């Protein structure tokens, strides 16, 4: 059987990561993969994570299985992070949360749930979006469509075109929205735009699936949840896939969650029972360690306060690097207007570099950027900025 199996195409971003590792150039720069980097170019373990792990190591008495949807304490802290303290959705029992292995795991469980609940639903993805969205949806057997998102010449949200497309959706179709720090554009809807999107989706009776992988990286933990909360205020059903890879730096612990909001407690419980049967047939039950870290931090007022400081540190560094990048490009004589980069959020922005320019950067300067011209702003450091900006000036 295996003799007939053909090579699958490599993942474009992870393939670049491997090429970067093999590159012997000591001045190489990696702006491809989506991990946070500190001023020295490392992806550190947060101090609060280390402290929580010490506590867990000391207190833990068993490695027995978790339940299929994980620990109830984890679901509680995740819901509070999403909706804020004492939200009516939580007290009414309309929100249920399943712990999943990373944001990707949560998206896959969501996709299979959609396929079960409404097999003919189509899933609408922003154009462009994180490439794995289409993979995950198609793997669950769902048909994928796209809605306009990026106005490239103006470097802003293509809001009118977006709304026009959403206004024509048939009932029951699903719309994937990035909860904040849109990957790859760095462009998020304003509060008014979120409200308008929610109104259109409610009128069309379409289902939002919010992919929320960067809470805290745009403006603040609570501030960044404004989009999700606007949807909750205006709609009776939604799905939210969250990831704690970035804001807790727990990339390899695979910690995320799928939260479902239904119109009633009974509907939420029925949906959760279906989600359980999906998880049981996939990975049976989730891995404990990462979720225990998140729970320990969020339940301790002291650790939580320190976590907020560390998230603010990451957010501040990203904003700072955005400003410095624009300044440094100008200092290298680049005349093109890159100021939009300062106005965007999260780890990613489109530079507007062409595929040829991206390849020239890789071949001539060992600077690794994905072909679309998307850069990970968190990969910028004071040390590599002058090298990068000189190289960009030369390829432009």
Ligand X SMILES: Cc1ncc(COP(=O)(O)O)c(C=O)c1O
Options 97, 155, 183, 344; binder of ligand X; rule CB under 6 A: 183
In the window 226-265, what residues touch ligand X (CB under 6 A)?
Answer: 243, 245, 256
Q: Which two tokens stand for residue 12?
A: 């474009």
**Shortest separation between residue 184's beta carbon and ligand X, angstroms:** 8
Return the number of the residue (257 or 388) whose C-beta is nearest ligand X: 257
307 is catalytic: no
Q: Which two tokens stand for residue 191?
A: 């509060």
**Shortest separation between residue 5's beta carbon and ligand X, angstroms:** 26
With b meaning 16 or more CB within 10 Å and e meaning fewer, what string describes 58-70? eeeeeeeebebbb
> How many other C-beta atoms lie within 10 A of the C-beta of residue 117?
14
Return the number of the residue (35 or 387) whose C-beta is nearest ligand X: 35
Options 124, 130, 149, 350; binder of ligand X; rule CB under 6 A: 130
**Residue 213 binding ligand X, by CB under 6 A:** yes
Give me the helix-helix angle, 102-117 and 132-139, nearest 10°: 40
**Residue 102 binding ligand X, by CB under 6 A:** yes
185 neighbors 150 (Cβ within 8 angstroms)? yes
Give the Cα separation of 72 and 242 in Å (integer): 16
Radius of gyration of the CA atoms of the chain, in A: 21
Number of chain positions touching ligand X (CB under 6 A): 12
- 211, 224, 292, 307: which is the annotated catalytic residue? 211
- 28, 37, 124, 130: which is the annotated catalytic residue? 130
**Shortest separation between residue 15's beta carbon and ligand X, angstroms:** 15
In the window 277-336, what residues touch ligand X (CB under 6 A)?
Answer: none
116 is catalytic: no
Is the preceding omega at residue 319 within 30 degrees of 0, hence cis?
no
**Residue 30 binding ligand X, by CB under 6 A:** no
Selected range binding ligand X among 71-79, 101-109, 336-344, 352-360, rule: CB under 6 A: 101-109
184 neighbors 150 (Cβ within 8 angstroms)? no
**Residue 173 binding ligand X, by CB under 6 A:** no
Measured at CB, which residue is nearest to ligand X? 102
**Shortest separation between residue 244's beta carbon and ligand X, angstroms:** 7
276 is catalytic: no
Instruction: Tell me the H-state helices in the chain.
Output: 12-22, 47-59, 72-83, 88-91, 102-117, 132-139, 159-166, 191-204, 226-234, 265-282, 289-299, 301-331, 340-343, 355-365, 385-395
**Residue 104 binding ligand X, by CB under 6 A:** yes
Q: Which two tokens stand for residue 167?
A: 């206004």
**Residue 34 binding ligand X, by CB under 6 A:** yes
Q: Which of 102, 99, 52 is nearest to 304 (CA)?
A: 52
Sites of contact with ligand X (CB under 6 A): 34, 102-104, 130, 178, 183, 211, 213, 243, 245, 256
* Catalytic positions, written as ranges: 130, 211, 246
């Amino acid at each position: 059987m295996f003799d007939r199996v053909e090579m699958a195409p490599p993942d474009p971003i992870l393939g670049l990561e491997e090429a970067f590792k093999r590159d012997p150039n000591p001045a190489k720069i990696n702006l491809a993969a989506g991990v946070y980097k500190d001023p020295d170019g490392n992806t550190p373990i947060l101090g609060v994570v280390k402290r929580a792990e010490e506590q867990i190591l000391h207190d833990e008495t068993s490695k027995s299985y978790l339940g299929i949807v994980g620990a109830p304490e984890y679901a509680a802290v995740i819901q509070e992070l999403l909706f804020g303290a004492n939200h009516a959705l939580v007290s009414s029992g309309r929100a249920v949360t399943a712990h999943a292995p990373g944001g990707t795991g949560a998206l896959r469980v969501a996709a299979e749930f959609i396929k079960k609940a409404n097999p003919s639903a189509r899933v609408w993805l922003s154009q462009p979006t994180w490439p794995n969205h289409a993979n995950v949806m198609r793997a669950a057997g769902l048909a994928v469509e796209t809605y306009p998102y990026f106005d490239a010449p103006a470097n802003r949200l293509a809001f009118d075109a977006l709304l026009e497309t959403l206004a024509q959706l048939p009932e029951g179709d699903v719309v994937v929205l990035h909860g904040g720090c849109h990957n790859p554009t760095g462009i998020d809807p304003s509060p008014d735009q979120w409200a308008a999107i929610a109104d259109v989706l409610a009128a069309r009776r379409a289902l939002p699936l919010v992919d929320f992988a960067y809470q805290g990286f745009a403006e603040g933990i609570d501030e960044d949840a404004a989009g999700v909360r606007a949807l909750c205020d205006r709609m009776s059903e939604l799905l939210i896939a969250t990831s704690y890879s970035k804001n807790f730096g727990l990339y390899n612990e695979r910690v995320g969650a799928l939260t479902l909001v239904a119109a009633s407690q009974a509907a939420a419980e029925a949906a959760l029972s279906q989600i359980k049967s999906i998880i049981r047939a996939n990975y049976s039950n989730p891995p404990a360690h990462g979720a225990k870290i998140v729970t320990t931090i969020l339940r301790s007022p002291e650790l939580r306060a320190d976590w907020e400081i560390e998230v603010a540190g990451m957010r501040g560094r990203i904003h700072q690097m955005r400003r410095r990048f624009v300044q440094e490009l100008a200092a290298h004589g680049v005349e093109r207007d890159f100021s939009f980069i300062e106005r965007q959020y999260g780890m990613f922005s489109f530079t507007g570099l062409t595929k040829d320019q991206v390849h020239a950067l890789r071949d001539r300067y060992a600077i690794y950027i994905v072909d679309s011209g998307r850069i990970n702003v968190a990969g910028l450091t004071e040390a590599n900025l002058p090298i990068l900006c000189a190289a960009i000036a030369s390829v432009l």
